[in-house]
Structure 1
């Protein structure tokens, strides 16, 4: 059984991005710039933003961080995004979610210019992905899922039966579309799907993104299948501590699967690496040049 190492894969992708950034700076005087907006003081969001800023700088990009008070009005936040939309030094814009309850997340996402929407959440980018257009900026976690699946199965996923468990706009739906683009036969399931275990047992690839700890059991998995676990759940242990686990029961699954991503250390590290890849893609697209 192969453990799919997201950390090393993300490190290799970041190195490739850094090489491309160096060429852009030297040959085109273009240093990609990523603006990150953090509203409020959510501890988890602060950690995510700190990691994004650090990794942005490590690959040679410019990082612009905007911290907003939790009581900022929606109008003020949208005005700041509009400023960034019109700033040529900013190639990518990311607003860290979740936002305070008084702010409409959809309104915020739709205000970001589609060509700078490096999270890939804007309706225009979602539509482009749906239509299979190469101009789409694709959500980061689904991109990482495809890369990790190919780590074990190779670049050609044609004909594989993939079961995606979870139907969110952030992971489930876009990863299903990406798998379709890879010529997989895709079943999009969710927590209310009947006979889910039986459905999974026919899958060559399982992408678990349902948000329920250890929901996918070992006897759901076809021997030799590739399991991509997107879930990050904190549970209490018998020792009175907490533990991070995925949506897959790892101990059971590793006895059956051909390959599996661990939690942590699987899909998670790929998300920021793919964010940087989107920023690189957006930067080149805005200048009309090929990615080095």
Structure 2
């Protein structure tokens, strides 16, 4: 008897966030004396087709949500840093993002830190990264008024897993991936490693795979929100990859190579498969093994980016001492977009 799983499009998942974002933007505009819309600025200093496509998606989504978007192209990469500083100082700019890669080396990591923490919609600032890896969910743990920002694509994949009911909502927050095993093929500092840490912090056993080796991410012992731990399992061989995939409930791919295809025979019957690479990492026959297959995540990533920007505005209001009753968060508290991530 043949099996046919379901293909779930990112556009369908992103729709679940439309109402909350649109309502929150309307509240922001109505509460602003000048009725100014939130402004997101994107910096593009490369000719990467994936970045160009991402920029177009961002603009289209912003416009549909009532958010102003401005793409600033920087022909000379050496001037990008000063352009970011200008946006940091501009009170009219609520969020800033950079389309990577720019230099394609460690200098890109420096540029991530140039963006002001208060405007970093991508969640790449070192403060946010430190909080994420140590499972600290608030900038102000005592009052819990300012939520720490999470990187967009890892957050998008978490939200996709929630949408697909991989997260067990009967369990308390921080434990909702308990008993789940996942394999993540990508260990970049932008997506793969943060994603493995986030899933491990929520209780999953995560095998993080890159071209060199395979690491096992698990949550540490003790308190519910304890920091994850990492174990090196050795070189990435086809035998080891096949072995760790045998019991994997979730397989997530992000291999940035056009001709890479994940071996369909490694997929456990009924597993959930998600691809966040610009390239198609699964063969079409994945639908005969996976119960649920998400071929791309881009549109959910953009929704998370805009959601992050609205949270940054809330954080700024909280830092200024605006009470919850008068802040955007208070006015739309019924939507509670900050339940978990």
Pairwise same-fold verdict (TM > 0.5): yes
Aligned to 1:105: 108
Aligned to 1:53: 59
Output the TM-score relative to the length of structure 1.
0.85
Which residues in structure 2 correspond to 1:74-93 (within 5 Å)?
A: 76-93=79-96
Distance 1:260 1:40, change over 3 A: closer
Mark the runs of 5 or more structure 2 residues left unpaired by the alignment. Answer: 138-146, 169-176, 213-235, 319-326, 333-341
Deviation at 1:94, TM superposition (A): 0.7
Distance, in Å, in 2 between the alignment partners of 1:281 and 1:34 is 13
Moved more, 83-92 or 150-159: 150-159
Distance, in Å, in 2 between the alignment partners of 1:103 and 1:146 is 27
1:210 aligns with 2:255: yes
Where has structure 1 moved over 6 Å in runs of 4 or more? none
Deviation at 1:155, TM superposition (A): 3.8
Distance 1:162 1:40, change over 3 A: closer
Of 241, 246, 249, which aligns to 2:283? 249
Of 269, 272, 290, which aligns to 1:226? 272
Deviation at 1:33, TM superposition (A): 1.8
Of 113, 117, 125, which aligns to 1:114? 117
Mark the runs of 5 or more structure 1 residues left unpaired by the alignment. Answer: 234-245
Distance 1:225 1:78, change over 3 A: same
Distance, in Å, in 2 between the alignment partners of 1:106 and 1:215 is 29
Of 93, 96, 99, which aligns to 1:96? 99
Aligned to 1:172: 192
Of 104, 126, 131, which aligns to 2:129? 126
Aligned residues: CA RMSD: 2.3
Distance 1:158 1:109, change over 3 A: same
User: Match of 2:92, SS?
Assistant: coil
Aligned to 2:160: 148
For the 8 Å contact 1:214–1:249, the answer to whether it is kept is no
Output the TM-score relative to the length of structure 2.
0.73
Distance 1:176 1:72, change over 3 A: closer
Distance 1:215 1:103, change over 3 A: closer
